[in-house]
C-alpha cells in the first residue's frame, strides 16, 4: 500500500516536472512548441495509464477488502503473500513506467537540445543574413542618397544660375528701360519747357495758332479757295490772317471773303482751369467773367476790322486752337448767342472748323458741277453723234463679215469635195479624163445645200 502511494507521488512529481518543463519550453521557437505538444500528449497518455492503474488498484483493493472480509478466516499468510506478490508486481510495473519516463525525458531533452542548437544556428544565420542585407541596403541607400544629392545639387545649381541669370537680365533690361525712360523724360521735359516758352510768348503763341489753322485749311481746301493776310475791306490797312474765297454773284465777279482770325487767350484759360481744379466757385465765376470779356473784345475787333458786306460775309469766324478753351466758351451762359447776334462772330475749335471747312468744300464742288453742267451736255451730245456713226460703221462691218462668211463656206465646200476626190483617185482608171476629178455644178450646189441644212 505504501509503495502504491510512493509510486503515485513519484508520478505526480514527474508530471509536475514535465509540466514545468513544458511551460519553460513554450517561449522557444515553433519547432520546440511542436515537440512540447508531442511530449505533452505522451505525458497525457502516461497519466491516463496511471489513472487506469490507480483505478485497477482501487478495484483490486476493493476486491481484496471483500475477499478479506469474506476470507478473513482464510488466514493472514495467504493475504500477506497475495499482497506481497501484488506489491512486487506493482513495484515492477512502476519501475518499468519510471524507466519509460526517464527514456522519454532523455529523448525529449536530446530533442530540445538539438532544437535549441538548430534554432541558435538558424538565428545566427538569420542574424548574419539580416546584418549583411542591412549593410547592403545601407550602402545602396547611401549610394542613392549621394546620387540624389548630386542631382539635386546640380539641378539647384543650374536652376539658381538660370534664375540669377534671368534676374540679372531682367534687372539689366529694367535698368536700360529706366535709362531710356529717363532719356525720354528728359526729352519730354525739354519739349514741355519749349512748349511753355512758346505758350508764354504772346507772339509765338499766336504764330502757333496761325500755323495750326493754316494746316487745317491746307488739308481741306485747295490753294485757290483760301488766302492769307487778306484785306477783306477795300482801302483798309487791316489784314485778316486767313479768309475763304467764296464765289460772288454772277460770272467774273469779285469773290466774297469769309474772314477767319485765330485767337488764344491762354492766361485767362489757365486761370479758369486752375480755379476749377481747386474747386473755388468764386474764382471760377471771376475767371469766366474775365474770359467772357476777353472773347467779346476779340469778337468786336474782328467785326470792326474784317467784316464789311458785300465784300465779306455778314459773319466771321473766331478760331480757338484748343478744344478745352472752345468748350469753356460754350459753357459760359449766353456767350455764343451774344457773339453771333451782336458781333456776328462764330467761335470754332479744331473739330468744329474742320466740319465747317468740309461743308464749304462740298459746296464748292456742287457749284463747280453747276457751272460746268452746260459743258457736260455739249460733251454728251458729241458722244451721242459719235455713237450713231459708230453704230452705222458697225452695221456695215457686220454685212461685210457675213459676206466673207459665205465666201468661206463656199471655199470650205470645194475643199471637202477636192479632198473626197483625191481620196478616191487610186480607184479611177488611167484612161479617164482628169476633168472628172472635179465636181460639176450640180454636185457643188447639192453639197452647199447639205452644209446650209
Q: Mind listing the pLDDT tens digit for each residue in 168-177? A: 778 778 777 7
Coil vs helix vs strand at 424:
coil
pTM value > 0.85 = no
Distance, CA of 431 to CA of 451 (rounded, Å): 33
Q: Looking at residue 21, what is its pLDDT?
A: 67
Contact in structure between 247 and 367 (CB atoms under 8 Å): yes
Residue count (the chain)? 453
The answer, yes or no, to whether residue 338 has pLDDT greater than 80, is yes
**What pLDDT does residue 413 have?**
77
Lowest mean per-residue pLDDT among 67-81, 170-184, 357-371, 429-443: 429-443
> Which tens digits make up the pLDDT trace of 289-300?
888 888 888 888
Confidence class of residue 277 from pLDDT cuts 50, 70 and 90?
confident
Q: Judge if the upstream peptide bond of residue 19 is cis by omega within 30 degrees of 0.
A: no
Helix, strand or coil, per DSSP, at residue 20: helix
| DSSP label at residue 315 | -
The tens digit of pLDDT for each residue in 365-387 reads: 777 666 666 666 676 677 677 76
Model confidence at 112, in pLDDT bands (50, 70, 90)?
confident
pLDDT number for residue 424: 60
DSSP state of 58: H
Q: Any residues with CB less than 8 A from the CB of 214 and at least 6 apart, and which?
A: 228, 242
Cβ of 399: how many Cβ atoms within 10 Å? 9
Confidence of residue 178 (pLDDT cuts 50, 70, 90): confident
Q: Which residue has better confidence, 196 or 13?
A: 13
* Parallel/antiparallel/unpaired status of strands 256-262 and 240-246: antiparallel
Residue 431 has a pLDDT of: 44
Confidence of residue 154 (pLDDT cuts 50, 70, 90): confident
> 228, 242 in Cβ contact below 8 A?
yes
Find the largest Cα–Cα distance for the chain: 199
Q: Distances in Å between the alpha carbon of 283 and those of 287, 293, 430?
A: 6, 15, 132
Predicted confidence at residue 386, as pLDDT, reads: 73
pLDDT tier at 280, thresholds 50, 70, 90 = confident
Residues 48, 136: contact at Cβ < 8 Å? no
Helix axes 350-371, 202-220, angle to 10 degrees: 40
Report how far residue 183's alpha carbon sits from residue 189's, in angstroms, rounded to the nearest whole number. Answer: 10
Question: Would you say the C-alpha torsion 3, 5, 8, 13 has a positive or negative sign?
Answer: negative
Mean residue pLDDT of the chain comes to 74
Q: Over range 354-375, report the average pLDDT.
A: 74
Q: How far apart are CA 3 and CA 219, in angstroms?
A: 151
pLDDT at 437: 42
End-to-end CA distance of the chain: 163
What is the pLDDT, as a whole number, of residue 229?
Answer: 84
* Cβ–Cβ < 8 Å for 317, 261: yes
Residue 436 pLDDT class (50, 70, 90 cuts) = very low
Look up residue 394 and give its three cell numbers: 458697225
C-alpha span between 45 and 50 (Å, rounded): 9
Amino acid at each position: 500500500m505504501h509503495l502504491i502511494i510512493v509510486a503515485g507521488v513519484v508520478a505526480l512529481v514527474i508530471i509536475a516536472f514535465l509540466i514545468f518543463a513544458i511551460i519553460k519550453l513554450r517561449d522557444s521557437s515553433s519547432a520546440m512548441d511542436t515537440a512540447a505538444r508531442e511530449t505533452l500528449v505522451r505525458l497525457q497518455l502516461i497519466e491516463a495509464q496511471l489513472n487506469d492503474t490507480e483505478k485497477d488498484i482501487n478495484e483490486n483493493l476493493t476486491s481484496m477488502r471483500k475477499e478479506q472480509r469474506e476470507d478473513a478466516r482464510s488466514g493472514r499468510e495467504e493475504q500477506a503473500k497475495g499482497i506481497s506478490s501484488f506489491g512486487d508486481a506493482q513495484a515492477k510495473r512502476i519501475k518499468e513506467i519510471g524507466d519509460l519516463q526517464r527514456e522519454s525525458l532523455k529523448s525529449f531533452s536530446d530533442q530540445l537540445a538539438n532544437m535549441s542548437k538548430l534554432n541558435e544556428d538558424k538565428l545566427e544565420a538569420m542574424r548574419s543574413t539580416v546584418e549583411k542585407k542591412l549593410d547592403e541596403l545601407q550602402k545602396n541607400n547611401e549610394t542613392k542618397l549621394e546620387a540624389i544629392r548630386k542631382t539635386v545639387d546640380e539641378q539647384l545649381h543650374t536652376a539658381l544660375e538660370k534664375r540669377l541669370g534671368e534676374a540679372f537680365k531682367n534687372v539689366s533690361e529694367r535698368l536700360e528701360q529706366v535709362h531710356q525712360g529717363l532719356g525720354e523724360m528728359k526729352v519730354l521735359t525739354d519739349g514741355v519747357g519749349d512748349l511753355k516758352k512758346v505758350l508764354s510768348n504772346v507772339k509765338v503763341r499766336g504764330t502757333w495758332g496761325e500755323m495750326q489753322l493754316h494746316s487745317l485749311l491746307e488739308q481741306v481746301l485747295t490753294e485757290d479757295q483760301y488766302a492769307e493776310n487778306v484785306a477783306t475791306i477795300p482801302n483798309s490797312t487791316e489784314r485778316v490772317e486767313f479768309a475763304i474765297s467764296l464765289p460772288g454773284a454772277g460770272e467774273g465777279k469779285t469773290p466774297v471773303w469769309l474772314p477767319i482770325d485765330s485767337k488764344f487767350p491762354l492766361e485767362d484759360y489757365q486761370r479758369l482751369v486752375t480755379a476749377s481744379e481747386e474747386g473755388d466757385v468764386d474764382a471760377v465765376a471771376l475767371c469766366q467773367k474775365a474770359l467772357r470779356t476777353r472773347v467779346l473784345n476779340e469778337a468786336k475787333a474782328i467785326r470792326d476790322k474784317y467784316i464789311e458786306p458785300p465784300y465779306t460775309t455778314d459773319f466771321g469766324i473766331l478760331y480757338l486752337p484748343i478744344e478745352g478753351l472752345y468748350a469753356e466758351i460754350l459753357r459760359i451762359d449766353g456767350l455764343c448767342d451774344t457773339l453771333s447776334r451782336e458781333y456776328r462772330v462764330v467761335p470754332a475749335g479744331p473739330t468744329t472748323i474742320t466740319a465747317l471747312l468740309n461743308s464749304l468744300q462740298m459746296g464748292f464742288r456742287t457749284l463747280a458741277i453747276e457751272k460746268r453742267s452746260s459743258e457736260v451736255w455739249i460733251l454728251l451730245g458729241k458722244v451721242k453723234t459719235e455713237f450713231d456713226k459708230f453704230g452705222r460703221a458697225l452695221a456695215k462691218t457686220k454685212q461685210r463679215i457675213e459676206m466673207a462668211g459665205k465666201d468661206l463656206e463656199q471655199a470650205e465646200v470645194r475643199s471637202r469635195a477636192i479632198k473626197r476626190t483625191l481620196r478616191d483617185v487610186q480607184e479611177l482608171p488611167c484612161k479617164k479624163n482628169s476633168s472628172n476629178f472635179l465636181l460639176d455644178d450640180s454636185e457643188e450646189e447639192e453639197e452647199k445645200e447639205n452644209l446650209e441644212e
